[in-house]
Amino acid sequence: MGLDDRKLAVLRAIVEDYVATQEPVGSKALVERHQLGVSPATVRNDMAVLEEEGYIRQPHTSAGRVPTDRGYRLFVDRLSRVKPLSPAERRAIERFLVGAVDLDDVVHRTVRLLAQLTRQVAVVQYPSLARSKVRHLELVPISTTRLMVVMIADTGRVEQRLVELPAPVPADDVTDLRRLVNEKLVGSQLSETPPLVQALVDESAPHLRPAMTTLSTVLLETLVERHEERLALAGQANLTRGGLLDFQGSLRPILEALEEEVVLLKLIGETEPSTTRVLIGDENEFDNLRAASVVSTGYGPGSTIVGGLGVLGPTRMDYPGNIAMVRAVARYVGELLAQN
Amino acid sequence: MGLDDRKLAVLRAIVEDYVATQEPVGSKALVERHQLGVSPATVRNDMAVLEEEGYIRQPHTSAGRVPTDRGYRLFVDRLSRVKPLSPAERRAIERFLVGAVDLDDVVHRTVRLLAQLTRQVAVVQYPSLARSKVRHLELVPISTTRLMVVMIADTGRVEQRLVELPAPVPADDVTDLRRLVNEKLVGSQLSETPPLVQALVDESAPHLRPAMTTLSTVLLETLVERHEERLALAGQANLTRGGLLDFQGSLRPILEALEEEVVLLKLIGETEPSTTRVLIGDENEFDNLRAASVVSTGYGPGSTIVGGLGVLGPTRMDYPGNIAMVRAVARYVGELLAQN
DNA sequence: GCTGGCACTCGACTGTAGCGAGTGCCAGTC
DNA sequence: GACTGGCACTCGCTACAGTCGAGTGCCAGC
């Protein structure tokens, strides 16, 4: 069990070399490229131990070693050194994000930026509605029995929904409805609205009741139950880098998983605030993504978290680099949101 | 040059068989599977002519024949018989589209439906802003110097944009601004707004001028110049069907092209109304998509066209089937939009 | 103008052999 | 006791030769 410093150094060297070359790394190449101060034979002995402990494995008898998921995990937890961003990368981030005109724009720019910087698939979750506060509710009459409800959240998200009213409602009543819902709901956290919405119905004047009832149902549906999470995705083409070696030859399962919003949300949806999360290989719960790793973190204005973002790629990825990028981008986006 | 009926029948048979089996088709197999009424030797003679004319080719000397892009073109133009949808498909379409609650929902359901039905990559363009009319403009004060402009179009699209005002504007003035822009712009086609927006500035009261000027600039920018086309995409995983045979082994260029909105818009953006367009192989203008074909059409409420939708796949695709599906889905979506 | 027959082509597959990267083990050294 | 050099061994990869067979082009005959 005792992994002394040199064995750890060997593991680190294996991970770094394998990530860089994408080829199983042998003992001789290792001592040549790293200053380990010992002979290949010694390294081989260390490798035998590392293999026994499950940190590396041999694709076939006469090949070099490749890290296992467990090996990557150890590497990420204890061996990787933080990789500071290059000035060029820093500049790229800034340049990319200035000039964004609205939330959609911010999210799209961010996801493309992340994909470009990390050369992986990037995912950005829109600010979660549950973590947003209502800034304004607008009711726009489409016809006498139809209303479009537009909700503007403080995070910049705008959601709309068509409401079919049970009976025609005159314009004045719409004005009243608008005033009422805004008075009650503006400023409140969306996850806490259900009782407020209920109260709305109870407190409204009798002639507004039927309309308000329908309206409240829709509000609850849109805002709470069918909690509308949205995502942006970019960089799928990066999956094809590294030939067909990664992902054991088939992109199929990966592409399928990427089409499932639920899956992506589980992967990058933030859990504990402000931690960067790394899921390696089968640590995630989806069979389709056994061969993939995910680096994700939360973002938001200031120290609050309103959504998640991250990248997905082969287990053989540059963890320190990607972690640094994901963090940096999240921080910049947070600052950007704070300005609004 | 004379392609008699039998030669055309041979071409049709080759296309159908190749699409079905994905393997070069030989003369013997052809006469066995189709009632051509002649011997393999005769078919071989016909094939020789078809090859000379550029409709089919041989991957290698001792292999069967494969249609060329030109062959598919002839097939699509003159040989394919319309393939009616199966009742199951018809039902799938209906079931898929009922219950859509807003435009986003409609578009997402549509694109997934198309991908599922055709087993190809599906693309749906949101109703084009240029073809929409303004239904309502809402100005929501974020702070005294910041306004969120929300535009609701008759096609259901909702666009928002943050406006930085040159000086604080009191709430009453915002109300005036709101009234003014709505009076002028509601009901007008977006492509025709520039003069109207200009007039807005000229006609507004002096104390509203500065704010209105900024506002009009943003409106013009958002609505006209940066003409915000949006797209939804689904079914990328379908690209991996047919192993790596299609797309000559690399999905890379295809995936890259699919990330470029501009490319997709050019492909499925409607041109002549109500035609179904088929682009085969290098008929499209993008190098990355030389190995792909696109079937697309316009859709919209009634007989007007507000956007395009379509599918993209290998040149070896079921053209009649895909054409039928694309048309059917477009028609259903049109009906759905007409109801709103 | 169609057909059967036939020689020919050439990719796909199989089996064999040699190469070499990389290993595990062991005896020897510090 | 830890490290090292040496050595036999494994096994994937590549090259090469040989066989098979699907499919063709061509031609003589009906």
The string of DSSP letters for B243-266 reads TTTGGGG--HHHHHHHT-HHHHHH
Minimum CA–CA partner of A138 in chain B: B138
pLDDT value at A118 more than 50: yes
Where is average pLDDT lowest: A141-145, B229-233, B260-264, B271-275? B271-275
Chain centre distance of CA B265: 7
Q: For residues A154 and A152, give the distance between their C-alpha atoms in angstroms, rounded to a whole number.
A: 7
Q: Mind telling me how many Å the CA of A18 is from chain B's nearest CA? A: 23
Q: Which helix (H) or strand (E) holds B163?
A: strand B158-164
Where is average pLDDT lowest: A120-129, A227-236, A323-332, B252-261? A227-236
pLDDT tens-place string over residues B139-163: 988 888 889 898 889 888 888 888 8
pLDDT tens-place string over residues B303-313: 889 999 999 99
Beta-carbon separation of A102 and B161 below 8 A: yes
Q: For residues A81 and A15, give the distance between their C-alpha atoms in angstroms, rounded to a whole number.
A: 13
Q: Would you tell me how many other CB atoms lie within 10 Å of the CB of residue B201?
A: 16
pLDDT value at B201 more than 60: yes
Per CB-CB distance under 8 Å, the chain B contacts of A259 are 234-237
Q: Would you tell me how many other CB atoms lie within 10 Å of the CB of residue B244?
A: 14
pLDDT tens-place string over residues A214-270: 998 888 887 766 667 899 999 999 998 876 667 877 889 999 999 999 999 999 986
Mean pLDDT of all residues in B243-271: 85
CB-based contact, B327 to chain A, within 8 Å: no
Contact (CB, 8 A) for B83 and B324: yes
Mean pLDDT of all residues in B212-236: 84
Residues, chain A: 340
Q: Is A32 helix (H, G, I), strand (E, B) or coil?
A: helix
**Residue B5 pLDDT:** 87
Instruction: Check residue B302 and give left, alpha or beta (phi > 0: left; psi -120 to 50: alpha).
Output: left
pLDDT band at B203 (very low <50, low <70, confident <90, very high): confident
Write out residues 125-184 of B within 8 Å (CB-CB) of A: 135-136, 138, 140, 142, 148, 150, 152, 156, 158, 160-162
**Residue A302 pLDDT:** 85
State what percent of residues in chain A have pLDDT above 90: 55
pLDDT band at B318 (very low <50, low <70, confident <90, very high): very high
The dihedral sign for the CA sequence A82, A87, A92, A98: positive
Contacts of A20 (CB under 8 A, 6+ apart): none
pLDDT tens-place string over residues B15-44: 999 999 989 999 998 998 888 888 899 999
Q: Greater confidence, A156 or B323?
A: B323
Q: Greater confidence, A236 or B99?
A: A236
Q: For residues A10 and A37, give the distance between their C-alpha atoms in angstroms, rounded to a whole number.
A: 11
Rg (C-alpha) for chain A, rounded Å, is 26
pLDDT band at A106 (very low <50, low <70, confident <90, very high): very high
| Strand ranges of the sheet holding A121-125, from the earlier edge strand across to the other edge | A231-234, A121-125, A307-314, A292-299, A276-279
What Å distances lie between residue A11 and A43, A59, A62, A79, CA to CA?
10, 16, 19, 9
Using CB atoms, pick whichever of A161, A237, A255 lies closest to residue B101: A161
Q: Give the helix ranges, DSSP H, for B84-232.
A: 87-97, 103-118, 171-185, 193-203, 209-220
pLDDT tens-place string over residues A295-326: 999 999 988 899 999 999 999 999 999 999 99
Q: For residues B121 and B238, give the distance between their C-alpha atoms in angstroms, rounded to a whole number.
A: 6
Residue type, B245: L
Where is average pLDDT lowest: A118-122, A316-320, B63-67, B141-145? B141-145
Beta-carbon separation of B251 and A250 below 8 A: no
pTM of this prediction? 0.91
| Strand ranges of the sheet holding B307-314, from the earlier edge strand across to the other edge | B231-234, B121-125, B307-314, B292-299, B276-279
Q: For residues A248 and A291, give the distance between their C-alpha atoms in angstroms, rounded to a whole number.
A: 8
What would you measure as the largest C-alpha separation in chain B, in angstroms? 89
**Residue B161 pLDDT:** 87
- Which residues does nucleic strand C approach, with CB less than 7 A? A 24-29, 40-41, 44, 47-48, 51, 58, 61-65; B 6, 37-42, 45, 60-63
Q: For residues A159 and A161, give the distance between their C-alpha atoms in angstroms, rounded to a whole number.
A: 7
